[in-house]
Amino acid sequence: MYVALRACVPVLAALVAPDVAAASQQSALEPAGVQAAHILNLWNVTLIVCGTVFAAVLLATLVALIRNRRNDDSSPPAPQPDEQTSTRTRNAVIAATAASGVLLVGLVIADVMTDRALSKLPVENAVRIEVTGQQWWWQAVYSPDAGQPGFATANELHVPVGRPVIVALKAGDVIHTFWVPNLHGKKDMLPGIQTTIEFRADKPGIYRGQCAEFCGAEHALMAMLVVAQSPEQYAAWRGQQATSASGPSDALEQRGRQIFEQSSCAGCHTVRGSSAQGTLGPDLTHLMSRQMIAAGALANTPADLLRWIRDPQAVKPGTTMPAVPLAADDLRAVIAWLGTLQ
């Protein structure tokens, strides 16, 4: 029962983080890239063929019921079919079987052609990202590009419109599946095996992705965002992400940084420019530039950030992040410092 209820969470995403969900899209029927368009075309062909066959079967069943209708048990038995009727019936069955075979072969051909089209995306000058599925969040490491250094982020990918993206997929624990339906189909992430997926965003926008392979109790709360931007906006975002965190500007923020560095937070998270160099949790160097936290479970606001740090198990039971036992004033200082990580 618990798992079934949690599986409903993606459907109710607007209730979990309304601002983020309202601004993002998650639909295979609204392609924003060439590969998603190929998949939609295959879907439309399959829907038309299967819908037509289903309607034909229903019509044949209806005709058979009408022809063999009985009013009551006293109705005379149906006359035995003659040779001509049997021949017509046999020919109809043969024709229907042949048509079904032709349609199935046609669907196989359409599937193969779609697969070939998906593999023909030009990937010259591609953006390269390594994404690792964790329980239950996404780690993203951008490779150096155009003279800019690489960096790590979490749960939110930015890509330039019109430029191919190659994503190397890994799993840090169990099987996950990378799925951003507006941009491409699904791709499994297998422990110990690296796979890749290539896509290109042709329309600017914010596209919601979701782990599509059951990976534990909080599988439904493992979302991501892919933000497709103009090349200029992407370059500005990338330049900002490659920098270290800015220093605190007042005493409260300075105190918050010291508390963070001296607590268990620094053992799990990295904040470039500070002594926090943990690798178990997401890189927080530019935390406040992201639209959501906890892989889509909460919006990225000071109130939700405080709620997450105070009791993460109340938001995601089973998550590996422990509650941080801080006094109210200390927690307020930490939140103030985290708010500077733009």
Assigned token pair, 81? 């079919």
256 within some domain: yes
Q: Which among 325, 332, 308 has a CA at the least distance from the CA of 263?
A: 325
Give pTM, 2 decimals. Answer: 0.85
Same-domain check for residues 225 and 138: yes
What is the tens place of the pLDDT at every residue in 4-27?
434 444 444 444 454 555 567 899
Same-domain check for residues 179 and 206: yes
Domain coverage including residue 188: 124-230
Same-domain check for residues 47 and 86: yes
Same-domain check for residues 142 and 100: no
Domain boundary residue among 230, 261, 291? 230
Same-domain check for residues 86 and 162: no
42 within some domain: yes
Same-domain check for residues 222 and 299: no
26 within some domain: no
276 within some domain: yes
HSE (side-chain half, CA atoms, 13 Å) at 217: 9
Assigned token pair, 83? 């040779």
- Which CATH number characterizes residue 226's domain? 2.60.40.420
322 within some domain: yes
What is the tens place of the pLDDT at every residue in 274-306?
999 999 999 999 999 999 999 999 999 999 999
Number of separate domains in the chain: 3
260 within some domain: yes
- The pLDDT value recorded for residue 96 is 86
Same-domain check for residues 59 and 107: yes
- The pLDDT value recorded for residue 84 is 74
Same-domain check for residues 108 and 129: no
- C-alpha to C-alpha distance for 272 and 286, rounded to whole angstroms: 9
- Bigger pLDDT: 77 vs 20: 77
Whether the pLDDT of residue 181 is over 70: the answer is: yes
Same-domain check for residues 147 and 215: yes
59 within some domain: yes
Same-domain check for residues 163 and 210: yes
What percentage of residues in the chain have a pLDDT greater than 90? 77
Residue listed under structure tokens 């046999």: 90
- H-only helix segments in the chain: 2-6, 13-16, 18-23, 34-67, 83-118, 231-241, 251-262, 265-268, 302-310, 312-315, 328-338
What is the tens place of the pLDDT at every residue in 112-155?
999 999 999 999 999 999 999 999 999 999 999 988 899 999 99
Same-domain check for residues 59 and 105: yes
Q: Which among 37, 204, 230, 198 has a CA at the least distance from the CA of 123?
A: 198
Same-domain check for residues 90 and 172: no
Q: Which among 322, 96, 120, 133 has a CA at the least distance from the CA of 219?
A: 133
7 within some domain: no
- C-alpha to C-alpha distance for 226 and 182, rounded to whole angstroms: 10
Domain boundary residue among 57, 90, 118? 118
